[in-house]
Amino acid sequence: MIDIKFLRENPNAVKENIKKKFQDSKLPLVDEVIQLDNERRTTQQKADSLRADRNKFSKQIGALMGQGKKDEAQQMKQLVTEKSEELAQLEALESELAEKVKKIMMVIPNIIDESVPIGKDDSENVEIQKYGEPFVPDFEVPYHTDIMEKLNGIDLDSARKVAGNGFYYLMGDIARLHSAVISYARDFMIGRGFTYCVPPFMIRSDVVTGVMSFAEMDSMMYKIEGEDLYLIGTSEHSMIGKFIDTAIKEEELPKTLTSYSPCFRKEKGAHGIEERGVYRIHQFEKQEMIVVCKPDESKMWFEKLWQNTVDLFRSLDIPVRTLECCSGDLADLKVKSIDVEAWSPRQKKYFEVGSCSNLGDAQARRLRIRVSGKDGRYFAHTLNNTVVAPPRMLIAFLENNLNEDGTVRIPQALRPYMGGKDIIAAATNN
Protein backbone atom coordinates (compact mmCIF):
# COMPACT_ATOMS: atom_id res chain seq x y z
CA MET A 1 0.00 0.00 0.00
CA ILE A 2 1.48 3.31 -1.06
CA ASP A 3 1.41 6.49 1.04
CA ILE A 4 -1.86 8.42 0.56
CA LYS A 5 0.14 11.65 0.77
CA PHE A 6 2.33 10.50 -2.14
CA LEU A 7 -0.75 9.64 -4.19
CA ARG A 8 -2.37 12.96 -3.34
CA GLU A 9 0.71 14.91 -4.45
CA ASN A 10 1.69 12.66 -7.39
CA PRO A 11 -1.49 11.30 -9.00
CA ASN A 12 0.03 11.19 -12.48
CA ALA A 13 3.01 9.15 -11.26
CA VAL A 14 0.62 6.65 -9.64
CA LYS A 15 -1.42 6.42 -12.84
CA GLU A 16 1.72 5.91 -14.92
CA ASN A 17 2.78 3.10 -12.57
CA ILE A 18 -0.64 1.46 -13.03
CA LYS A 19 -0.17 1.62 -16.79
CA LYS A 20 3.29 0.04 -16.51
CA LYS A 21 1.65 -2.87 -14.72
CA PHE A 22 -1.02 -3.15 -17.45
CA GLN A 23 -3.85 -2.63 -14.96
CA ASP A 24 -5.63 0.22 -16.76
CA SER A 25 -8.95 -0.75 -15.18
CA LYS A 26 -7.57 0.65 -11.92
CA LEU A 27 -6.82 4.12 -13.33
CA PRO A 28 -10.17 5.62 -12.22
CA LEU A 29 -9.40 4.55 -8.65
CA VAL A 30 -6.76 7.27 -8.34
CA ASP A 31 -9.20 10.13 -8.89
CA GLU A 32 -11.85 8.34 -6.83
CA VAL A 33 -9.58 7.95 -3.82
CA ILE A 34 -8.43 11.58 -4.07
CA GLN A 35 -12.05 12.75 -3.99
CA LEU A 36 -12.90 10.48 -1.06
CA ASP A 37 -9.76 11.56 0.79
CA ASN A 38 -10.69 15.24 0.31
CA GLU A 39 -14.17 14.52 1.71
CA ARG A 40 -12.63 12.65 4.62
CA ARG A 41 -10.24 15.49 5.46
CA THR A 42 -13.01 18.10 5.17
CA THR A 43 -15.19 15.99 7.46
CA GLN A 44 -12.30 15.60 9.89
CA GLN A 45 -11.76 19.37 9.97
CA LYS A 46 -15.44 19.95 10.72
CA ALA A 47 -15.32 17.30 13.45
CA ASP A 48 -12.20 18.86 14.98
CA SER A 49 -13.91 22.26 14.99
CA LEU A 50 -16.99 20.80 16.67
CA ARG A 51 -14.87 19.09 19.31
CA ALA A 52 -13.18 22.38 20.09
CA ASP A 53 -16.57 24.16 20.38
CA ARG A 54 -17.98 21.40 22.55
CA ASN A 55 -14.99 21.53 24.90
CA LYS A 56 -15.22 25.30 25.09
CA PHE A 57 -18.98 25.23 25.86
CA SER A 58 -18.47 22.50 28.45
CA LYS A 59 -16.03 24.72 30.33
CA GLN A 60 -18.48 27.62 30.14
CA ILE A 61 -21.20 25.46 31.73
CA GLY A 62 -19.03 25.00 34.82
CA ALA A 63 -18.37 28.72 35.04
CA LEU A 64 -22.06 29.59 34.64
CA MET A 65 -23.07 27.08 37.31
CA GLY A 66 -20.46 28.61 39.63
CA GLN A 67 -22.05 32.02 39.05
CA GLY A 68 -25.52 30.65 39.79
CA LYS A 69 -26.70 31.20 36.21
CA LYS A 70 -28.54 27.90 35.97
CA ASP A 71 -30.83 28.87 33.08
CA GLU A 72 -27.94 29.99 30.93
CA ALA A 73 -26.02 26.86 31.92
CA GLN A 74 -28.99 24.71 30.90
CA GLN A 75 -29.14 26.43 27.51
CA MET A 76 -25.43 25.80 27.10
CA LYS A 77 -25.94 22.10 28.00
CA GLN A 78 -28.55 21.84 25.27
CA LEU A 79 -26.10 23.39 22.82
CA VAL A 80 -23.41 20.90 23.90
CA THR A 81 -25.88 18.03 23.35
CA GLU A 82 -26.66 19.29 19.85
CA LYS A 83 -22.96 19.64 19.07
CA SER A 84 -22.33 16.10 20.37
CA GLU A 85 -25.06 14.65 18.15
CA GLU A 86 -23.69 16.48 15.12
CA LEU A 87 -20.18 15.34 16.04
CA ALA A 88 -21.30 11.72 16.27
CA GLN A 89 -22.70 11.93 12.74
CA LEU A 90 -19.48 13.48 11.45
CA GLU A 91 -17.34 10.86 13.19
CA ALA A 92 -19.41 8.07 11.64
CA LEU A 93 -19.05 9.68 8.20
CA GLU A 94 -15.32 10.18 8.74
CA SER A 95 -14.91 6.51 9.67
CA GLU A 96 -16.94 5.42 6.63
CA LEU A 97 -14.88 7.58 4.28
CA ALA A 98 -11.60 6.41 5.84
CA GLU A 99 -12.63 2.78 5.29
CA LYS A 100 -13.49 3.49 1.64
CA VAL A 101 -10.13 5.19 1.13
CA LYS A 102 -8.29 2.26 2.74
CA LYS A 103 -10.18 -0.29 0.64
CA ILE A 104 -9.18 1.44 -2.60
CA MET A 105 -5.61 2.06 -1.47
CA MET A 106 -5.25 -1.67 -0.78
CA VAL A 107 -5.76 -2.48 -4.48
CA ILE A 108 -3.69 0.33 -6.04
CA PRO A 109 -0.32 -1.30 -6.90
CA ASN A 110 2.90 -0.29 -5.22
CA ILE A 111 5.33 1.93 -7.12
CA ILE A 112 7.76 -0.37 -8.91
CA ASP A 113 11.50 0.25 -8.96
CA GLU A 114 12.71 2.20 -11.98
CA SER A 115 15.00 -0.69 -12.95
CA VAL A 116 12.09 -3.13 -13.43
CA PRO A 117 11.66 -4.11 -17.12
CA ILE A 118 8.24 -3.29 -18.60
CA GLY A 119 6.28 -6.30 -19.79
CA LYS A 120 2.78 -7.77 -19.66
CA ASP A 121 3.45 -11.18 -18.08
CA ASP A 122 6.10 -13.74 -17.13
CA SER A 123 6.85 -14.45 -20.80
CA GLU A 124 8.58 -11.05 -20.86
CA ASN A 125 10.78 -11.59 -17.79
CA VAL A 126 14.46 -10.91 -18.48
CA GLU A 127 17.30 -13.35 -17.91
CA ILE A 128 20.09 -11.83 -15.84
CA GLN A 129 22.74 -14.50 -15.42
CA LYS A 130 23.37 -18.26 -15.55
CA TYR A 131 25.34 -20.10 -12.88
CA GLY A 132 26.82 -23.49 -13.73
CA GLU A 133 26.79 -25.33 -17.04
CA PRO A 134 23.47 -26.92 -18.05
CA PHE A 135 24.06 -30.60 -18.79
CA VAL A 136 21.98 -33.13 -20.72
CA PRO A 137 23.11 -36.77 -20.24
CA ASP A 138 23.35 -39.30 -23.08
CA PHE A 139 20.48 -41.34 -21.62
CA GLU A 140 16.83 -40.31 -21.35
CA VAL A 141 15.86 -38.63 -18.08
CA PRO A 142 12.46 -39.94 -16.90
CA TYR A 143 9.66 -37.80 -15.45
CA HIS A 144 10.44 -36.95 -11.83
CA THR A 145 7.70 -39.07 -10.29
CA ASP A 146 8.86 -42.03 -12.40
CA ILE A 147 12.34 -41.61 -10.91
CA MET A 148 10.86 -41.52 -7.42
CA GLU A 149 8.60 -44.53 -7.99
CA LYS A 150 11.52 -46.66 -9.23
CA LEU A 151 13.30 -45.77 -5.98
CA ASN A 152 10.17 -46.70 -3.95
CA GLY A 153 10.09 -43.06 -2.89
CA ILE A 154 6.59 -41.80 -3.66
CA ASP A 155 2.99 -42.98 -3.49
CA LEU A 156 0.59 -40.67 -5.32
CA ASP A 157 -2.23 -43.18 -5.69
CA SER A 158 -2.67 -43.68 -1.94
CA ALA A 159 -2.43 -39.92 -1.34
CA ARG A 160 -5.15 -39.35 -3.92
CA LYS A 161 -7.44 -41.76 -2.05
CA VAL A 162 -6.69 -40.06 1.26
CA ALA A 163 -6.69 -36.38 0.27
CA GLY A 164 -7.21 -36.01 -3.51
CA ASN A 165 -4.98 -34.59 -6.21
CA GLY A 166 -2.18 -32.28 -5.13
CA PHE A 167 -0.95 -34.46 -2.25
CA TYR A 168 1.68 -37.21 -1.95
CA TYR A 169 3.34 -39.73 0.31
CA LEU A 170 7.13 -39.51 0.20
CA MET A 171 8.78 -42.74 1.29
CA GLY A 172 12.16 -44.15 2.27
CA ASP A 173 15.29 -42.43 1.01
CA ILE A 174 13.30 -39.89 -1.04
CA ALA A 175 11.50 -38.79 2.12
CA ARG A 176 14.85 -38.69 3.87
CA LEU A 177 16.33 -36.67 1.01
CA HIS A 178 13.45 -34.21 1.33
CA SER A 179 14.20 -33.71 5.02
CA ALA A 180 17.94 -33.59 4.36
CA VAL A 181 17.52 -30.72 1.89
CA ILE A 182 15.43 -28.76 4.41
CA SER A 183 17.96 -29.37 7.20
CA TYR A 184 20.87 -28.44 4.97
CA ALA A 185 19.10 -25.24 3.88
CA ARG A 186 18.43 -24.37 7.54
CA ASP A 187 22.09 -24.73 8.49
CA PHE A 188 23.19 -22.96 5.30
CA MET A 189 21.17 -19.87 6.27
CA ILE A 190 22.23 -19.98 9.90
CA GLY A 191 25.76 -19.95 8.54
CA ARG A 192 24.87 -16.78 6.66
CA GLY A 193 23.95 -15.08 9.95
CA PHE A 194 20.17 -15.55 9.90
CA THR A 195 18.21 -16.42 13.04
CA TYR A 196 16.36 -19.72 12.75
CA CYS A 197 12.61 -19.56 13.37
CA VAL A 198 9.71 -22.02 13.41
CA PRO A 199 6.66 -19.73 13.08
CA PRO A 200 2.92 -20.28 13.58
CA PHE A 201 1.44 -22.19 10.66
CA MET A 202 -1.84 -20.26 10.88
CA ILE A 203 -2.33 -16.50 10.81
CA ARG A 204 -5.21 -14.10 11.44
CA SER A 205 -7.00 -12.16 8.73
CA ASP A 206 -5.37 -8.82 9.65
CA VAL A 207 -1.96 -10.39 9.01
CA VAL A 208 -3.13 -11.97 5.74
CA THR A 209 -4.41 -8.64 4.38
CA GLY A 210 -1.25 -6.97 5.65
CA VAL A 211 1.14 -9.15 3.68
CA MET A 212 -0.65 -9.83 0.39
CA SER A 213 -3.24 -8.55 -2.06
CA PHE A 214 -6.88 -9.65 -1.99
CA ALA A 215 -6.44 -11.45 -5.32
CA GLU A 216 -3.49 -13.47 -3.98
CA MET A 217 -5.41 -14.23 -0.79
CA ASP A 218 -8.39 -15.61 -2.71
CA SER A 219 -6.27 -17.78 -5.01
CA MET A 220 -3.90 -19.09 -2.33
CA MET A 221 -5.22 -19.20 1.23
CA TYR A 222 -7.20 -21.92 2.97
CA LYS A 223 -9.62 -20.47 5.54
CA ILE A 224 -10.26 -22.32 8.81
CA GLU A 225 -14.05 -22.60 9.09
CA GLY A 226 -15.49 -20.79 12.10
CA GLU A 227 -12.13 -19.23 13.04
CA ASP A 228 -10.34 -16.01 12.17
CA LEU A 229 -7.41 -18.11 10.97
CA TYR A 230 -5.84 -19.05 7.64
CA LEU A 231 -3.32 -21.79 6.87
CA ILE A 232 -0.10 -20.15 5.69
CA GLY A 233 0.81 -20.43 2.02
CA THR A 234 4.39 -19.44 2.84
CA SER A 235 6.14 -18.80 6.15
CA GLU A 236 7.27 -15.29 5.15
CA HIS A 237 3.72 -14.12 5.96
CA SER A 238 3.90 -15.48 9.48
CA MET A 239 7.43 -14.13 9.99
CA ILE A 240 6.60 -10.63 8.74
CA GLY A 241 3.45 -10.76 10.87
CA LYS A 242 5.68 -11.25 13.92
CA PHE A 243 6.39 -7.52 13.79
CA ILE A 244 2.79 -6.26 13.47
CA ASP A 245 2.06 -3.11 15.50
CA THR A 246 5.67 -2.73 16.63
CA ALA A 247 8.18 0.11 16.72
CA ILE A 248 11.64 -1.39 16.25
CA LYS A 249 14.64 0.57 17.49
CA GLU A 250 16.78 1.64 14.56
CA GLU A 251 19.90 0.15 16.10
CA GLU A 252 18.20 -3.28 16.27
CA LEU A 253 17.88 -3.47 12.48
CA PRO A 254 18.14 -5.42 10.33
CA LYS A 255 16.00 -8.32 11.49
CA THR A 256 17.10 -11.36 9.50
CA LEU A 257 15.13 -14.58 9.98
CA THR A 258 15.09 -17.94 8.24
CA SER A 259 12.17 -20.26 8.86
CA TYR A 260 10.91 -23.75 8.28
CA SER A 261 7.22 -24.43 7.74
CA PRO A 262 4.71 -26.56 5.92
CA CYS A 263 2.79 -24.54 3.34
CA PHE A 264 -0.77 -24.95 2.09
CA ARG A 265 -2.11 -23.50 -1.17
CA LYS A 266 -5.33 -23.76 -3.12
CA GLU A 267 -3.44 -23.22 -6.39
CA LYS A 268 -6.50 -21.78 -8.10
CA GLY A 269 -6.12 -20.43 -11.61
CA ALA A 270 -4.79 -21.39 -15.00
CA HIS A 271 -1.96 -23.64 -13.84
CA GLY A 272 -4.09 -26.14 -11.98
CA ILE A 273 -2.89 -29.18 -10.05
CA GLU A 274 -0.82 -31.91 -11.69
CA GLU A 275 -2.22 -35.40 -11.35
CA ARG A 276 1.11 -37.20 -11.62
CA GLY A 277 3.61 -34.51 -10.67
CA VAL A 278 4.79 -32.71 -7.55
CA TYR A 279 5.62 -29.34 -9.10
CA ARG A 280 2.35 -27.60 -8.24
CA ILE A 281 0.65 -29.09 -5.20
CA HIS A 282 -1.59 -28.21 -2.24
CA GLN A 283 0.91 -29.06 0.50
CA PHE A 284 4.68 -28.75 0.67
CA GLU A 285 7.50 -27.72 3.00
CA LYS A 286 9.80 -24.79 2.67
CA GLN A 287 12.79 -22.96 4.09
CA GLU A 288 12.31 -19.21 3.76
CA MET A 289 14.21 -16.02 4.59
CA ILE A 290 12.95 -12.54 5.44
CA VAL A 291 14.55 -9.20 6.25
CA VAL A 292 13.12 -6.16 8.01
CA CYS A 293 15.46 -3.23 7.48
CA LYS A 294 15.91 0.50 7.04
CA PRO A 295 14.71 1.86 3.68
CA ASP A 296 18.20 2.82 2.52
CA GLU A 297 19.42 -0.75 3.04
CA SER A 298 16.69 -2.69 1.23
CA LYS A 299 18.37 -2.65 -2.19
CA MET A 300 21.54 -4.09 -0.69
CA TRP A 301 19.60 -6.80 1.13
CA PHE A 302 17.68 -7.67 -2.03
CA GLU A 303 20.93 -8.52 -3.79
CA LYS A 304 22.12 -10.59 -0.84
CA LEU A 305 18.90 -12.58 -0.54
CA TRP A 306 18.64 -13.95 -4.08
CA GLN A 307 22.39 -14.65 -4.06
CA ASN A 308 21.87 -16.92 -1.04
CA THR A 309 19.52 -19.12 -3.09
CA VAL A 310 21.91 -19.24 -6.04
CA ASP A 311 24.77 -20.19 -3.72
CA LEU A 312 22.76 -22.96 -2.05
CA PHE A 313 21.78 -24.59 -5.36
CA ARG A 314 25.31 -24.30 -6.70
CA SER A 315 26.65 -25.93 -3.52
CA LEU A 316 24.59 -28.95 -4.61
CA ASP A 317 25.92 -28.77 -8.19
CA ILE A 318 22.57 -27.72 -9.66
CA PRO A 319 22.82 -25.17 -12.52
CA VAL A 320 20.53 -22.16 -12.05
CA ARG A 321 19.74 -18.83 -13.61
CA THR A 322 18.22 -15.58 -12.37
CA LEU A 323 15.34 -13.77 -14.05
CA GLU A 324 14.23 -10.18 -13.49
CA CYS A 325 10.43 -10.15 -13.19
CA CYS A 326 8.80 -7.63 -15.51
CA SER A 327 6.21 -5.08 -14.38
CA GLY A 328 3.19 -7.16 -15.36
CA ASP A 329 4.49 -10.21 -13.47
CA LEU A 330 4.93 -8.35 -10.17
CA ALA A 331 2.31 -8.80 -7.45
CA ASP A 332 0.78 -5.47 -6.41
CA LEU A 333 2.81 -5.07 -3.22
CA LYS A 334 6.18 -5.75 -4.83
CA VAL A 335 8.73 -3.10 -5.79
CA LYS A 336 11.12 -5.52 -7.49
CA SER A 337 11.45 -9.29 -7.82
CA ILE A 338 13.95 -11.85 -9.10
CA ASP A 339 13.15 -15.52 -9.74
CA VAL A 340 15.74 -18.25 -9.37
CA GLU A 341 15.25 -21.10 -11.85
CA ALA A 342 16.93 -24.52 -11.81
CA TRP A 343 18.02 -26.48 -14.88
CA SER A 344 15.88 -29.44 -15.94
CA PRO A 345 17.89 -31.95 -18.04
CA ARG A 346 14.66 -33.75 -18.94
CA GLN A 347 12.89 -30.65 -20.28
CA LYS A 348 16.13 -29.02 -21.44
CA LYS A 349 15.03 -25.74 -19.91
CA TYR A 350 14.95 -23.92 -16.57
CA PHE A 351 12.01 -23.88 -14.15
CA GLU A 352 11.24 -21.72 -11.10
CA VAL A 353 12.46 -22.92 -7.71
CA GLY A 354 12.49 -19.64 -5.77
CA SER A 355 11.49 -16.01 -5.81
CA CYS A 356 13.08 -13.00 -4.11
CA SER A 357 11.02 -9.85 -3.52
CA ASN A 358 11.54 -6.32 -2.20
CA LEU A 359 8.21 -4.93 -0.99
CA GLY A 360 9.46 -1.51 0.09
CA ASP A 361 7.29 -0.20 2.93
CA ALA A 362 4.03 -1.67 1.55
CA GLN A 363 3.71 -4.51 4.07
CA ALA A 364 5.08 -2.38 6.90
CA ARG A 365 2.50 0.32 6.18
CA ARG A 366 -0.34 -2.22 6.23
CA LEU A 367 0.95 -3.97 9.36
CA ARG A 368 2.09 -0.78 11.10
CA ILE A 369 5.73 -1.88 11.41
CA ARG A 370 7.67 1.26 12.28
CA VAL A 371 11.27 2.08 13.06
CA SER A 372 12.16 4.41 15.96
CA GLY A 373 15.15 6.49 14.94
CA LYS A 374 16.86 9.66 16.09
CA ASP A 375 14.78 11.68 13.60
CA GLY A 376 11.45 10.11 14.59
CA ARG A 377 9.45 7.12 13.39
CA TYR A 378 9.20 5.79 9.85
CA PHE A 379 8.03 2.62 8.13
CA ALA A 380 10.48 -0.27 7.73
CA HIS A 381 11.16 -2.07 4.46
CA THR A 382 10.48 -5.80 4.18
CA LEU A 383 11.96 -8.42 1.86
CA ASN A 384 11.53 -12.15 1.43
CA ASN A 385 13.12 -14.97 -0.53
CA THR A 386 12.81 -18.73 -0.91
CA VAL A 387 15.80 -20.65 0.37
CA VAL A 388 14.48 -23.96 -0.90
CA ALA A 389 11.03 -25.45 -1.45
CA PRO A 390 10.88 -29.22 -1.74
CA PRO A 391 9.55 -31.03 -3.63
CA ARG A 392 10.38 -28.62 -6.50
CA MET A 393 13.95 -28.81 -5.31
CA LEU A 394 13.72 -32.62 -5.51
CA ILE A 395 12.77 -32.43 -9.19
CA ALA A 396 15.92 -30.44 -9.98
CA PHE A 397 18.04 -32.56 -7.65
CA LEU A 398 16.92 -35.92 -9.03
CA GLU A 399 17.21 -34.91 -12.68
CA ASN A 400 20.67 -33.37 -12.25
CA ASN A 401 22.07 -36.25 -10.15
CA LEU A 402 20.49 -39.22 -11.92
CA ASN A 403 22.74 -42.04 -13.09
CA GLU A 404 21.97 -44.14 -16.16
CA ASP A 405 21.20 -47.18 -13.98
CA GLY A 406 18.46 -45.23 -12.15
CA THR A 407 20.43 -44.54 -8.98
CA VAL A 408 20.89 -40.98 -7.72
CA ARG A 409 24.17 -39.39 -6.58
CA ILE A 410 24.25 -37.57 -3.24
CA PRO A 411 26.52 -34.47 -3.34
CA GLN A 412 29.12 -34.15 -0.60
CA ALA A 413 27.28 -31.32 1.16
CA LEU A 414 24.18 -33.46 1.72
CA ARG A 415 25.84 -36.70 2.81
CA PRO A 416 26.02 -35.82 6.53
CA TYR A 417 22.23 -35.32 6.43
CA MET A 418 21.74 -38.68 4.67
CA GLY A 419 23.63 -40.79 7.18
CA GLY A 420 26.77 -40.73 5.05
CA LYS A 421 25.09 -42.19 1.96
CA ASP A 422 26.61 -41.21 -1.37
CA ILE A 423 23.93 -42.83 -3.54
CA ILE A 424 20.21 -43.64 -3.51
CA ALA A 425 19.19 -46.95 -5.02
CA ALA A 426 15.92 -48.88 -5.07
CA ALA A 427 15.27 -50.75 -1.85
CA THR A 428 15.01 -54.52 -2.07
CA ASN A 429 11.69 -54.40 -0.18
CA ASN A 430 9.26 -51.62 0.64
The answer to whether position 21 is within a domain reads yes
For residue 18, pLDDT over 70 is answered with yes
Structural domains in the chain (count) = 2
pLDDT confidence of residue 118? 98
pLDDT confidence of residue 50? 80
Over the chain, what is the mean pLDDT?
91
For residue 328, pLDDT over 90 is answered with yes
Rounded average pLDDT over 155-160:
94
134/84 same-domain check? no
Give residues with Cβ within 8 angstroms of 199, minimum separation 6.
232, 235, 238, 239, 242, 259, 261
For residue 278, pLDDT over 90 is answered with no
97/148 same-domain check? no
pLDDT confidence of residue 64? 65
264/308 same-domain check? yes
76/187 same-domain check? no
Rounded average pLDDT over 74-91:
78
326/404 same-domain check? yes
pLDDT confidence of residue 48? 86
How far is Cα 151 from Cα 145, in angstroms, rounded to an integer? 10
Give Dmax (Cα) for the chain. 106
The answer to whether position 398 is within a domain reads yes
The answer to whether position 338 is within a domain reads yes
80 pLDDT band, cuts 50/70/90, is low
What one-letter code names the amino acid at 136? Answer: V
CB crowding 115-127: b at 16 or more within 10 Å, else e: ebeebeeeeebee
The answer to whether position 225 is within a domain reads yes
183/72 same-domain check? no
Residue that terminates a domain, selected from 74, 105, 136: 105
57/138 same-domain check? no
333/245 same-domain check? yes
**Among 59-68, 225-234, 391-400, which stretch is predicted with the lowest mean pLDDT?**
59-68
Please write the tens of the pLDDT for every residue from 209-255.
999 876 777 778 899 999 999 999 999 999 999 999 999 999 999 99
CATH code of 34's domain: 1.10.287.40
The answer to whether position 101 is within a domain reads yes
The answer to whether position 419 is within a domain reads yes
286/197 same-domain check? yes
How many other CB atoms are found less than 10 A from the CB of residue 141? 19
pLDDT confidence of residue 307? 97
The predicted model scores a pTM of: 0.88
pLDDT confidence of residue 274? 60
CATH code of 199's domain: 3.30.930.10
36/169 same-domain check? no
**Among 284-288, 355-359, 425-429, which stretch is predicted with the lowest mean pLDDT?**
425-429
Rounded average pLDDT over 43-55:
83
pLDDT confidence of residue 272? 56
Which residues span the domain enclosing 69? 4-105
As to burial, measured by CB atoms within 10 angstroms (0-12 exposed, 13-18 middle, 19+ buried), residue 192 is middle
171/78 same-domain check? no
177 pLDDT band, cuts 50/70/90, is very high
pLDDT confidence of residue 187? 98
pLDDT confidence of residue 426? 81
For residue 72, pLDDT over 50 is answered with yes
DSSP-assigned letters across all residues of 235-278: HHHHHHHTTTTEEEEGGGPPEEEEEEEEEE----SSS---SS-S
43/179 same-domain check? no
The answer to whether position 114 is within a domain reads no
Residue that terminates a domain, selected from 105, 131, 157: 105
Please write the tens of the pLDDT for every residue from 348-386.
999 999 999 999 999 999 999 999 998 899 999 999 999
The answer to whether position 420 is within a domain reads yes
Please write the tens of the pLDDT for every residue from 98-152.
999 999 999 999 999 999 999 999 999 999 999 999 999 999 999 999 999 999 9
Residue that terminates a domain, selected from 52, 80, 105: 105
430 pLDDT band, cuts 50/70/90, is very low
